[in-house]
Structure 1
């Protein structure tokens, strides 16, 4: 194992900066190690070099072990302070929680009363909205029946159309029943009456045409029968 003169000349030991008295002797030892071994070239290829390397390692480890022991010793008073501080922290937390529980005991009934009232108001609002939705839906269903009745009776007989037309004409759009939809309901009913009247006229014309055609066919059949008898 060897160390060059140039390497030794360039070694600059680190400056001790700690204010912890217990570590100062160790810093001196570390400075010694840095000065002695920082630029050391280790050669373990020979038995002598290996033996020297082991001696160096022992020297370095002795400093490290001593440092570890000092750290344990130096920490004891601080660890106790930390332990005491943590105990105080726990006391503060526990006392704070106890005070909070006392406040909550006062707050809870007030908060519960407020929440109960808020829930009651929300439930009442939801019920009003449900009733309103059902009311509107029922009115809309009546208006829809007026709007769709003509299509439903498009292919029905004149008598059927007349019956439903009479029923629609007798329908009364009451303000208390249709409320804000009174005008819309009136328009839908009047449109339904107009459409059904058109359907009725068409049905009558269709049925009259069918009856006329049937009569003509009957008359033709009778003439054919008379001709057959005459030719016999």
Structure 2
């Protein structure tokens, strides 16, 4: 009986020691596994970064093209401003043809070869029927545009005709109000800025100091407005 009791106590003690040993080892094993997993994940993430590096170079941004109105709009604007029964420009249509309508490659605007029996609207060439409807602003186009302004305003009739459209004459004073009206001949969408008016007033002051005639001072102001390219922008 004593032997059985001692054996039972020995087995119980052994069970307690084994259980305690397992409890002490289990957290360590779990911690080791967690640590190993974290390290493995970190290694995998690092490997991923190495396999798929992030491109930090700055990509060039696409530039937005600035389109301008085509030859039909430009020609129509010049006709509207400079056509006058009182101050006719005898070769106005010829100048518009030469510097705008016959420059379709620069001004844009495909033509209809059958709109006139002579093919005049296409400058006599069927190739002009395939032109782009609109183009970008370019230096060649602007050189033609400036030539048209200089030719039309180079004659007194052109200055008188333009001023007539806004109820002025060459004898009208050049000031903020009259310059704003002249500006509106070409810029229909917005009034002039203070800087633009100041620039035109400075031009008038300089010409007055040189004893320029009233019509020549108006010619200079209208030329500055006409030759500026921004009124052709969309």
TM-score of the aligned structures, taking structure 2 as reference length? 0.25
Q: Which has the larger radius of gyration?
A: 1
TM-score of the aligned structures, taking structure 1 as reference length? 0.25
